[in-house]
Chain A
């Protein structure tokens, strides 16, 4: 069942569940952050509609800077603005930012300890028809490896809105990962969100779970659907939303592993260095259990519809169910 304590969307299993792009929640959250604090400024590399930064630019034109197609400048200028007390949010596609400008983020934001929020939109394979060049499958790894930077990957538009508002209030630099496609709404306005906290979204009605499913970003929806179907087949699972990839909620991850003794991780990202790797790092050290990783296995993407691609690269509901059954067999 859905965790009753989190006030999740009761309509999530309906065919006509409301769907909103995650990036839209970012755009809405940025407007609210801008209303709350006049020091919030926005910078965009020629993609204001795609990243939904247009909402902020329309409301606060004097606090918006159009950078042109210049991602290296995007983050370094933001660093300079932060030095003068601004709270800059920078938006582009994740392939370009933090893809193209990684060293600038490292030196002028993380190493330099400047409060800047980098928003990478169109992350993951679900970018679809634009093809492999535009599908960021490495951004979590790129940001996770940097000291002094938080990495947040919201599961839906409502959580993206909350995360954006929360990130405007922290002292640390951060990366927020956004997806292009319409994504089913899983949470509600009442669902709590806290940076650094993992949450269990799905759990058995009674008894202990046999497998722990840890998901991040838009694929969390497929994880919950799979969990519900597995329950009907007699397999009890818990589904964790690990939207806060860094800081990582080690305690909750270890707790889940202790209960289930088997974990699968799910992300629209390369297996190497992604969220699954973060989970594996925690468990290998604290409580080793078998893990199956769902994600991209050392390949680039290609054109196609989001659903075609998610199925082709083994991240659809059926692949998730298969991985759960596989890890069950590996349990000692």
Chain B
């Protein structure tokens, strides 16, 4: 992980903006899919794929690569768009999202797109797969490689999530870093109305994790959080990234109704115009 200069931050901002535009375009083209979480996590994904991750888009099966587990598979438009921008496949292919025969399935599937580490969609099972990866690496004393798990706040409702949290704490998996998209929404409403999660940081702490909170749209703060995670021993690490759902399109920001729907063509054009102003 290299130093994050101000110049690099400006580049990342531009890339994240381009990724947001592609997310809009692909969702409009697909006619279905999840908008809010994908737009909300664009900054986090950009930072990871363009600054943090040890990976090689031209050699996706490189053994020493860091592993990325996307637990909340429904935000895959941001994963696909970020992967395309980092060179795994063409940006043109993004238009095939959710289409018959496409590699970009509605929720990620390894059989169709082998570049993803896990097939996902059903919530609450990603962290435990990441725990399994981290355990295997600990067993083999391969601790340089990091296991990153991107997960949602809503999937804390799932019991499986807490089973994974417990086991990682027990086994002191400091090669495991969970990144929680704390955007406070899920399909049916705001998380604190559906199933209150707060005090979320205290919950993770009490399960023997090292907890870091950061603004999920501040590249410098996020980068510092990851640096702190890398300096942590004896505990698994969770970065609670506070994000704004649908970030970048003012009219949609914060509204849970955008969780599981795509923009219409007109709404998409309006959003693209707004994002164009950031150039």
Contacts and interface: CB of A to CB of B under 8 A. Distances in A.
B129 A83 contact: yes
Nearest to A107: B122
A20 interface: no
A112 B120 CA distance: 8
A62 B139 contact: yes
B160 A104 contact: yes
Contact of B167 (A62, A77, A84, A108): A77
A73 B167 CA distance: 9
A80 B120 CA distance: 12
Interface in A181-225: none
A68 B207 CA distance: 15
Interface string A61-93: 011010110101100111111111110100000
Given A67-B167, A83-B133, A104-B160, A76 B125 contact: yes
A112 B130 CA distance: 14
A62 B140 CA distance: 10
A208 to B, nearest CB: 46
B139 A77 contact: no
B164 A76 contact: yes
B209 to A, nearest CB: 16
Nearest to A86: B136
Interface string B54-85: 00000000000001010000000000000000
Contacts of A84: 132-133, 136-137, 140
B132 A80 contact: yes
B159 interface: yes
B110 interface: yes
Contacts of B119: 107-108, 111-112
Nearest to B118: A112
A242 interface: no
B193 to A, nearest CB: 26
Interface in B203-248: none
A49 interface: no
The interface centre, meaning the residue of A68, A77, A88, A103 with most chain B CB atoms within 10 A of its CB, is A77
A86 B133 CA distance: 9
A229 interface: no
A65 B129 contact: no
Given A80-B128, A103-B122, A107-B121, A72 B110 contact: no
B70 to A, nearest CB: 13
Contacts of B97: none
Nearest to B145: A84
B160 to A, nearest CB: 4
Nearest to A69: B163
Contacts of A107: 119-122, 125
A88 B136 CA distance: 10
Nearest to B127: A76
A67 B128 CA distance: 11
A111 B125 CA distance: 13
Contacts of B139: 41, 62-63, 86
Nearest to B111: A113
Interface string B121-164: 11011001111111111011000000000000000000110011
B135 A81 contact: yes
Given A70-B166, A112-B110, A79 B132 contact: yes
A77 B128 contact: yes
B141 to A, nearest CB: 11
B269 interface: no
Interface of A: 41, 62-63, 65, 67-68, 70, 72-73, 76-86, 88, 103-104, 107-108, 111-113
17 contacts: A68-B167, A73-B131, A73-B163, A73-B166, A76-B164, A77-B132, A79-B118, A80-B69, A80-B118, A80-B129, A80-B135, A81-B132, A81-B135, A83-B136, A107-B120, A107-B121, A108-B119
